[in-house]
Every structure is written in structure tokens, then in C-alpha cells.
């Protein structure tokens, strides 16, 4: 029982930390990006994240079945070991050691096999999640920023970046320049707030 409560507490803690910080980061970044380059890039990124999140959620459905199966097998294993401890004298007296040993090994093998299958599934999902959330999202973000930097509307340029500079740089540097302008404006806002406090 205490093992289950401990696992539940860990799951709740991970859920809170995995939801709160990324949500706040996304909201702050999207707001700053929208003021710098317009609403289309944050909207495109949000739609990608929503669609990939929906797909990953559907692919993760067997994880709950694996968790339930592991809990059931752990309960069976605990029951068998407790029964063997409680009836050790009778088992020894009736020479049932071999039979109980085989039964215990079969239950433990079943538990171990279920844990391995669940771990393989979770590992594959972690890899897929990393690829979809990190690499594809990063590539999409750079592509969208590059497109916005190549043909920027006049109102979306940061005030520190003159429009005459953009065509003179190679297209690979354009998103970096645009991002640098966004970060420079963000740092300038923070410095102004800090100076006002002094």
C-alpha cells in the first residue's frame, strides 16, 4: 500500500512540474514572439504542438494498460511471497519447496516480462516524444522564423533592426537576426524595469 501511495505522490509531483513550467514558458514566449513578428508564427507553432500532442496522447494509451498489468503482477507476487512466509513450516513439512519455488519463479517471470515490455514501450514513446517535441518543433520554428525574416512586414520589425540590413545577410542569418532583435528588445524591457526600481 505504501509503495502505491509513494508512486501516486511522485506521479502528481511530476504532473504539476511538467505542466506548469512549460505552459508558462510557452505563454511568455508566444506573447513576446507575437509582438515581434505577428500572430501567424505563434499560431502555426501552437497548431503543430497541439496536433503532435494529440497524436502522442493517442499513441500513449497502452501505457495505462501496462501500468495496471504491472500493479496486478506486483500484487500477485507480494501475495505469493507473503503466503510462503506465513506457511513456511507447512511447506517444508510437506516437502512443497520445489512446487512453491516453481510457482514463485513463474509469478516473478510474469512480473519481470510485463515490466520489460512496459519499459520498452515507454522508452520508445520517450524517443518519439523527444523527436517530435524537440527536433521537428525546432526545425519548424527555424523555418517559420526564416520565412518571417525574409519577407517581414514593416510593423513586425524590431525597432533596433533597420529593414535595409535584412537583404544584405544570407538567409540562414535572417532568423538569427530576428531572434536577436526580439531578445534585445526583451533585455531592454527588463533593464528599464530594473532601472525604475533604483
> What digits encode the pLDDT tens for the residues 35-85?
877 788 888 888 888 888 888 888 888 888 999 999 999 999 999 999 988
Q: How many CA atoms lie within 13 A of 49 on its CB side?
A: 15
- CA pseudo-torsion sign 137, 140, 145, 146: positive
Q: Is 191 helix (H, G, I), strand (E, B) or coil?
A: helix
Parse the chain into domains and list their residue ranges. 2-197
DSSP secondary structure, 103-118, as one string: HHHHHHHHHHHHHHHH
Q: What is the pLDDT of residues 119-177, one digit of tens each?
A: 999 999 988 888 887 888 888 888 887 776 665 454 554 555 455 544 544 454 555 55
Rounded CA gap, 60 and 122, in Å?
8
Of the pLDDT bands very low, low, confident and very high (cuts 50, 70, 90), residue 179 is low
Q: Between 33 and 62, whose confidence is greater?
A: 62
Q: Could you tell me the pLDDT band of residue 95, with boundaries at 50, 70 and 90? A: confident
Sign of CA dihedral 157, 160, 166, 169: negative
Q: Rounded to two decimals, what is the model's pTM?
A: 0.56
Amino acid at each position: 500500500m505504501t509503495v502505491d501511495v509513494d508512486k501516486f505522490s511522485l506521479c502528481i509531483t511530476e504532473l504539476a512540474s511538467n505542466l506548469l513550467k512549460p505552459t508558462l514558458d510557452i505563454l511568455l514566449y508566444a506573447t513576446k514572439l507575437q509582438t515581434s513578428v505577428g500572430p501567424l508564427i505563434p499560431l502555426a507553432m501552437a497548431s503543430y504542438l497541439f496536433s503532435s500532442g494529440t497524436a502522442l496522447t493517442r499513441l500513449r494509451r497502452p501505457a495505462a494498460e501496462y501500468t495496471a498489468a504491472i500493479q496486478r503482477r506486483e500484487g500477485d507476487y507480494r501475495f505469493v511471497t507473503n503466503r510462503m512466509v506465513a506457511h513456511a513450516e507447512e511447506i517444508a513439512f510437506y516437502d512443497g519447496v520445489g512446487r512453491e519455488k516453481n510457482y514463485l519463479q513463474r509469478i516473478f517471470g510474469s512480473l519481470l516480462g510485463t515490466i520489460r515490455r512496459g519499459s520498452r514501450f515507454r522508452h520508445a514513446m520517450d524517443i518519439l516524444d523527444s523527436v517530435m517535441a524537440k527536433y521537428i518543433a525546432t526545425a519548424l520554428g527555424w523555418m517559420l522564423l526564416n520565412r518571417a525574416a525574409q519577407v517581414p512586414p514593416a510593423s513586425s520589425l524590431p525597432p533596433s533592426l533597420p529593414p535595409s540590413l535584412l537583404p544584405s545577410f544570407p538567409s540562414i542569418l535572417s532568423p538569427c537576426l530576428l531572434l536577436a532583435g526580439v531578445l534585445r528588445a526583451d533585455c531592454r524591457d527588463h533593464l528599464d524595469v530594473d532601472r525604475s526600481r533604483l
